[in-house]
Structure 1
């Protein structure tokens, strides 16, 4: 459980880092603002036409008497919007990172150079177009995994008591895990760590991941907050990636060091 606090501290340290580097913070806001406009448009459309979609999808209920018809379709509309909101929280990071790949790559590299004892930062050695293809491919895989979890939780949401208590908690924990994967991917992809190895690395320290990603997922539910936290989240995820891989960090708090180094997951750098 100690890792929960460590993960949260990385989230806070990331926000502090961007607060000290205003230029990086300003550039990091641009992709989030673009994504926010797109998502607000999609959620607004769902709010306006969601009831019509539910009515079209449930023709068998047309003959139901009042108030059962209204209650049934109202519940389905609310669940549909809640599911869309959950997926929006998970995919917001993936879409923002894809749009802002050059911005966040640069930010993550500067964090690495700032905290590395020798002032260096790992480089993938790949051209930008190749990094974008890999990022888009991996993001799609993560979104598909998140969607499967979303469908499962959607179904469990109809189970009495469990659907109203346990399922929301599981939903935020799952969201936190996938958010952390997307954010740490910026630093780990530069180190040539493949998706399968990244997932194994994160699963090896789940409480650390939950401590970082779950509070962030909750914060992302507040309108506009995600945009302003994204640059710091990328910075904090970079610091956490160094922890996961057992890399030395200048002025590192001893409590933040991993109990087991993760060097086995690190790919050799190009030209090594």
Structure 2
């Protein structure tokens, strides 16, 4: 249970870090804003045409006596939209990270440097386009896993009682895990860890991962919140990755980096 609190602490510390580094926060907002426009358009389309899709997929309900056919299709429409919302939460991070790869890499490196006792950050030996390709490929692989889980949860959600109580809770934990994987992929990929190794590392401390990812997933359900929390989520994921790897962190990991002038004055003294 201690790890649950530690995971949440990293989420908060990440938000505090970007709050103290306004310039990095401003640049890191741009990818989220672009992704938000795309997802809002997709969800609006689902809300408009979702009922028609359900009606087309359930012709057998045409002959049901009223109001059962209407109630059944209304329930399926709501579940379909909920599934779309779940997939949006699961994939928003992946799409935003692909769009904002250079922004978030730079942000993560700065967090690493501020958290490191010697002020240095691990750097990738791969060229930018190779990193972008690996990030996109791994995001697709995670999306496939998330989709499988989403379909499974959708099916289990049709079960009486369990589908309305246990399954939504399970869905939030699944969402939290995949969110944590996507966000920690930035600092971990920079260290040369592939997807399989990253998943093994995350599974080794599930409570820590859930403590970070689950409340973040809940927050991402609130419209527009994901855009403003994303930079801090990347910062928090970098701190989380350092913990998973057992890397030492300095006492000033959450404080702003000194300005060049201030550094020169300190040196002169």
TM-score by length of structure 2 reads 0.93
Q: Does 1:101 align with 2:69?
A: no
Aligned to 1:228, the other structure's residue is in SS state helix
> Which moved further from structure 2: 34-43 or 55-64?
55-64
Task: Give the aligned partner of residue 139 of structure 2.
Answer: 139
CA distance in 2, matches of 1:145, 1:89: 14
Runs of 4+ in 1 over 2 A off after TM superposition: none
CA deviation string 1:83-122 (max 9, x = no partner): 0000100100000001000000000001111111111111
CA distance in 1, matches of 2:164, 2:113: 46
Task: Give the aligned partner of residue 60 of structure 1.
Answer: 60
Taking only aligned residues, the RMSD between alpha carbons, in angstroms, comes to 1.0
Relative to 1, partners in 2 of residues 1:156 and 1:252: Cα closer, same or farther, differing over 3 Å?
farther
Q: Map 1:76-87 onto structure 2 (within 5 A).
A: 76-87=76-87
Task: Give the aligned partner of residue 176 of structure 1.
Answer: 176
Deviation, structure 1 residue 57: 1.1
CA distance in 2, matches of 1:120, 1:252: 13
Task: Give the aligned partner of residue 234 of structure 1.
Answer: 234
Aligned to 1:62, the other structure's residue is in SS state helix
Q: Does 1:251 align with 2:251?
A: yes
Q: Structure 2 stretches of 5 or more lacking a match? A: 254-269
Aligned to 1:247, the other structure's residue is in SS state coil
Task: Give the aligned partner of residue 268 of structure 1.
Answer: none
Task: Give the aligned partner of residue 73 of structure 1.
Answer: 73
Deviation, structure 1 residue 195: 0.4
Q: Map 1:10-25 onto structure 2 (within 5 A).
A: 10-25=10-25
Task: Give the aligned partner of residue 212 of structure 1.
Answer: 212
Deviation, structure 1 residue 252: 7.4
Deviation, structure 1 residue 28: 0.7
CA distance in 2, matches of 1:252, 1:119: 10
Deviation, structure 1 residue 65: 2.2
CA distance in 2, matches of 1:118, 1:211: 28
CA distance in 1, matches of 2:176, 2:207: 11
Q: Structure 1 stretches of 5 or more lacking a match? A: 254-272
CA deviation string 1:214-239 (max 9, x = no partner): 00000000000000000000000001
CA distance in 2, matches of 1:216, 1:13: 13
Q: Does 1:156 align with 2:156?
A: yes
Native 8 Å contact 2:116 2:248 kept in 1 = yes
Native 8 Å contact 2:114 2:252 kept in 1 = no
Deviation, structure 1 residue 127: 0.9
Aligned length: 253
TM-score by length of structure 1 reads 0.92
Q: Does 1:192 align with 2:161?
A: no
Relative to 1, partners in 2 of residues 1:119 and 1:28: Cα closer, same or farther, differing over 3 Å?
same
CA deviation string 1:161-185 (max 9, x = no partner): 1111100000000000000000000
